[in-house]
Structure 1
């Protein structure tokens, strides 16, 4: 092992030890599942906003999106535009309402539990159905984080892919297992700060090293004019179709159904803190997504076409730029930003999946009288089990981060997005409509993703979301109206958010 590698590893270790210390600090603060999964609803504005956005972006921000821009230029920004719009609307329309309604509806601590309480589903099967979809889609989402981690270690240190995969998984599991929601949110807070600084610094330094913005854009124009054209795929020179642009913008629809983001809204200390959080989150997202696109475009000029040799290798563009720009220890800190991005999402996904299995399946259907101590250990066991399965999925070295994220993101947006919106805004939504929305939206998304050609090239979240929404409306109108108890509860919640 070279001296440079040792220095870089030292920087990584400093960062990882800091994350583990945060997890250990919160070990004794989780006495109930409410505290372990939701932090007792005590998060402040800054921690809520930064942890929500850090958990949102994952390794995709520093690897998947820059890789897409490295191939296609700024036209990859259509995804970023959709995500920026979706982020803002999620904070504006959903955050405060979900915080209030989850308190009103039986103090729900998970999204499936909210659905159960919202529609007074005494059978509890709606939370089981929702938990199944969470398990399926989060396995792939968590796997994307582990793939990011494996690519990072194997690229930087030449460590075998599988060994790299296991190292990353062990660290994430450790502090999530120990510290729960507080540990996840506070680590995400610091990771969000690191991600923001690094994603902004790398393209800025690269562009000025090439002579400044004017000279840089002249070089891009000379290299490939399509790289600066939002309407043309810079890789192929083929203009985007309306369906292609809709597919990319439709990523924004996914926000309304992402459990690991929505749970941050549920955990904030007060509804009044939402407005400040929304402003912080919006600024973070706009700057970070723009900078991520510029990493890809500037990296193509800075490093040339060398990353095109192997499929998926373009997603290491940030790693290669950092190695070329910075001294080894500083490079280690900047590379730790990828770990920050990976862990800030994977830890949230593990915790939300564990909460769904523990509260919405085990506690709901198997052990209704389980003690808090028993539920805590089941929760930690679920964290371990889900992580192991996700690692097995991630052993496929040909998986791309963007592909895995796209699959899971579309699934959640389709299965839960329409129902979250209807639950919060439409008084007439009933239990039968809720079941129909989850099942139809989720199944349409899953089936559509397996098809290709013609209309099936449309990103599956679009038909999944539309059919899920139609199913809720049609079935709710064709079946009996909600009971008075359900509508009175809706009116009580609605009065609180006006």
Structure 2
């Protein structure tokens, strides 16, 4: 007889594939349809895909592991992210108004091609590294709670998330994320209180962990503050989140969805951190990396545990497919299209085909990197950090004195400061209250450089409105025309037709 836990996981993934297939039909009708879901995501799928994109390995298994080692204060890793998202929702409408597909495209419109290529390279490297990191997380959970060998679980999960992304683009990804998000929110809200009750309650768990594990500020005020600032830069400049912002059907949906996702994720870390504490108190020497899986396997009903473990794998998949789509979109939009002579020389159907091909290449490549033993964390930190520094360029868009020539040197300085702070200084601690994330001084250095150069040069400035008008004009020309490419393809009807 098949194990109920395994059966529930199999059923869950079958449903995931069906949902992704259903909502991905017709995604090839146009480039904007494929990369931005036709700019038509409603509040529920938008909120859930925004939430699920970051609730994968780090915010689920990662926080549980950190809480196992360091205590309940690990939940601030999620709560600061949620507070940052709620903060950024106040200005998300201004970012939505830029009718673009990618962050490098936006920055390139203001600061020129050098800035665009710098941003594109950082984004592609960062997104591939993030994708590679997620692939191992999926396979590890599957192999640990089933009899499936690790290498089989690895390629099975990789083919699923790569296939979903290549098939339906943002539509498939967003609606699969919706399933993962709803299940894991509702399931965790039910499972963790049940796990606490089944292990003797809060008092019993607290008595079974070291005294410092119950200190809610154990990670330090400096660490909490810099996590918050880090996630402001992530939400305001990184492709996998802004690509979702531009996929919303209107600015109000984007604003409300980002706020709701932040509200939910603010409390989510408390649940996953509690799972880590339960594993410490009751797990009798379980490895910290398996804290989350141990709690679900051993303290609640196996069917609920199986569904939640499947949802946890699905949440990791949400991060992987989101970052894979973001990397592929950036490569095609900001490297391939300029190399091809610009949007006027390519058709929508051609771009969809190329994007699907790049998704396959990047997805298999990320999996190969993950299996190679390369130190993914270093690549991940470099890519994520430089992507965060791009936030300085986004902020500079809204300062009326910004000189167009100041963007590229500003981002170069910010990137250099990030590298030195992270890899040379090792993100030093301050006052024993935690380390300052390298993205914070990197972004501040970039902003200061842009400001100083803009005052020194006093050259060509711009207005936000003119950038928005130009982007909208170019997007309308592209989506409404019917061009033939050199290989004889014609554009499919645009998403607005």
Same fold (TM over 0.5): yes
Q: Deviations over 1:143-165 (max 9, x none)?
A: 12102112112211254433322
1:410 touches 1:461 (CA, 8 Å); kept in 2? yes
1:202 touches 1:321 (CA, 8 Å); kept in 2? no
Aligned to 1:10: 7
Going from structure 1 to structure 2, the CA distance change for 1:333 and 1:276 (only over 3 Å counts) comes to same
Shift of 1:203: 2.2
Aligned to 2:20: 23
In structure 1, list runs of 5 or more residues that go unmatched: 234-239, 308-313, 494-498
Equivalent of 2:49, from 48, 51, 64?
51
Aligned to 2:489: none
Shift of 1:346: 1.0
Aligned to 2:329: 355
Aligned to 1:187: 176
1:349-428 alignment, distance < 5 Å: 349-368=323-342, 369-395=345-371, 408-414=383-389, 416-423=390-397, 425-428=398-401
Q: Deviations over 1:119-155 (max 9, x none)?
A: 5x3xx34322211001111121111210211211221
2:86 touches 2:258 (CA, 8 Å); kept in 1? yes
Going from structure 1 to structure 2, the CA distance change for 1:360 and 1:408 (only over 3 Å counts) comes to closer
1:140-219 alignment, distance < 5 Å: 140-213=129-202, 215-216=203-204, 219=205
* Counterpart check, 1:297 vs 2:257: no
Q: Deviations over 1:285-343 (max 9, x none)?
A: 12212212222122212314321xxxxxx232111111113444433211111122111
2:131 touches 2:366 (CA, 8 Å); kept in 1? yes
* Counterpart check, 1:110 vs 2:102: yes
Equivalent of 2:119, from 102, 115, 130?
130
In structure 2, list runs of 5 or more residues that go unmatched: 430-434, 471-497
Going from structure 1 to structure 2, the CA distance change for 1:398 and 1:206 (only over 3 Å counts) comes to farther
2:77 touches 2:269 (CA, 8 Å); kept in 1? no
- Give the distance between the partners of 2:208 and 2:333, measured in 1 at CA: 58
1:144 touches 1:394 (CA, 8 Å); kept in 2? yes
* Counterpart check, 1:477 vs 2:455: yes
Which sits farther off after the overlay, 131-140 or 27-36? 27-36
Shift of 1:111: 1.5
Going from structure 1 to structure 2, the CA distance change for 1:83 and 1:370 (only over 3 Å counts) comes to same
Aligned to 2:410: 437
Equivalent of 2:211, from 213, 219, 225?
225
Equivalent of 1:277, from 250, 257, 281?
257
Aligned to 1:344: 318
Query: Which secondary structure state, in structure 1, belongs to the residue aligned with residue 428 of structure 2?
Result: helix
Query: Which secondary structure state, in structure 1, belongs to the residue aligned with residue 41 of structure 2?
Result: coil
- Give the distance between the partners of 1:245 and 1:317, measured in 2 at CA: 23
